[in-house]
Structure 1
Amino acid sequence: MARGMLALAPLVLFLLYILGTAESAAPVASSNFIKASCRSTAYPALCVQSLSLYATTIRQSPQLMAQTALSVSLAKAQFTKTYVTRLTKFRGLKAREYGAIKDCLEEISDTVDRLSKSVEELKSMGRARGQAFIWHMSNIETWISAALTDENTCMDGFSGRTLDGKIKASVRAQFTQVGQVTSNALALINKFAVKH
């Protein structure tokens, strides 16, 4: 019996080696999939940076890639909403700055709402096909496109030199980041829709 076990030892070690290699190859394949997919976005470096942390979740699934990109976009929008909310409580704001910040808070709230609906729609569509798939994707693309216009609408409130300064620069930086990850998410969703 002991000899039989010893004869099996190399086979067991070989199988463990193969399983270990497959496990370590999976993240590499996922990372390569993310890099290749991100090439079709407007901000490929940001795309890779923001999605690489989720390689094991995304694996090589275009749908999981789209869902993850959209979730990243939603998280960034929620962070920006919190940031802008805090700015409204900042002391020493000029009346026009306060008004512009309040407008931006309304815009980012709309963005969060639209991206939340898009995340839910993408998750709930399951394995939809044909007209059902087109309907879900149309909703998602409409909401995301509307969310992308919010950045410009916010910054319109800061037009004019009198509002140039740190507040405007910080708000612009936050909205630009939201716009970039949202643009990337839309590109990946469109890519998923075309391949579906």
Structure 2
Amino acid sequence: MAACIFFIIFALTSYATALATPSLDLVQSSCQNATFPKVCVHTLSIYKGPVSTPRELAQAAIKVSISRAINASKYLSSLQKEADQREKGAVKDCASQIADSVDELRDTLSELKELRRATFRWQMSNALTWVSAALTNEDTCLDGFKEVEGRVRTDVKQKVTYVAKVTSNALYLINRLDHP
């Protein structure tokens, strides 16, 4: 009897876990032609949440991008306290750019959650514009560090480049959507 109960609990837990993560086949087939396919597969295969359609996968990619951008923003905020005078301006400008990216990515997610057949083209145009703007902000952030040398530049470049990679992959997955 105890073995039967254990098996039922194990089976239900396994089923719930399978529902809470994307199908590896969906992730791999969707990410194979992304700009950064390895990053795409890695970040979305470990994503915790129900994903069974390309639309849900695009939403998951945006959520990953938002999360990474928020982490970068927190890092930049903490960095402002320890940066030297020359670095502070670049860090402050970058933090502002990344905060704008977070807002644009959140707008994108809201739009993707509400896709309707009658307004699909308009909504997709909005989503693509906002994600493209987020990518531009991330690039602009890095441009501010061209005159900065050392650890701060290296660390910011590493973090923001990763945000740009997941955002680029999200843009790719959104571009693949062909109906609501």
Kindly indicate whether residue 129 of structure 2 is the aligned counterpart of residue 129 of structure 1.
no
CA pair 56-121 structure 1, distance change in 2 beyond 3 A: closer
Bigger radius of gyration? 1
Q: What percent of counterpart residues are identical? A: 40
Q: Give CA-to-partner distance per residue, 1:29-70, whole Å, 9 cap, x none.
A: 9111110100120111111110112376112x0110111011
Which ranges in structure 1 are unaligned for 5 or more consecutive residues? 1-15
- Partner of residue 37, structure 1: 30
Task: Confirm or deny: 8 A CA contact 1:30 1:55 kept in the other structure.
Answer: no
Kindly indicate whether residue 110 of structure 2 is the aligned counterpart of residue 120 of structure 1.
yes
Please identify which structure carries the higher helix content: 1
Kindly indicate whether residue 60 of structure 2 is the aligned counterpart of residue 68 of structure 1.
yes
Q: Following TM superposition, by how much is the alpha carbon of 1:124 offset from its aligned partner in structure 2, in angstroms?
A: 2.3
Report the residue type matching 1:129 in the other structure.
R
Q: Distance in 1 between matches of 2:100 and 2:155?
A: 20
User: 66, 70, 77: which one pairs with 1:78?
Assistant: 70
Task: Confirm or deny: 8 A CA contact 1:31 1:55 kept in the other structure.
Answer: no
Kindly indicate whether residue 151 of structure 2 is the aligned counterpart of residue 151 of structure 1.
no
Aligned residue pairs: how many?
168
Aligned ranges for residues 2-17 of structure 1 at < 5 Å?
none
Q: CA RMSD in A?
A: 2.4
Q: Distance in 2 between matches of 1:154 and 1:65?
A: 27
Task: Confirm or deny: 8 A CA contact 2:66 2:106 kept in the other structure.
Answer: yes
Which ranges in structure 2 are unaligned for 5 or more consecutive residues? 1-7
Q: Calculate the TM-score normalised by the size of structure 1.
A: 0.78
Ranges of 4+ aligned residues in structure 1 off by more than 3 Å? 26-29
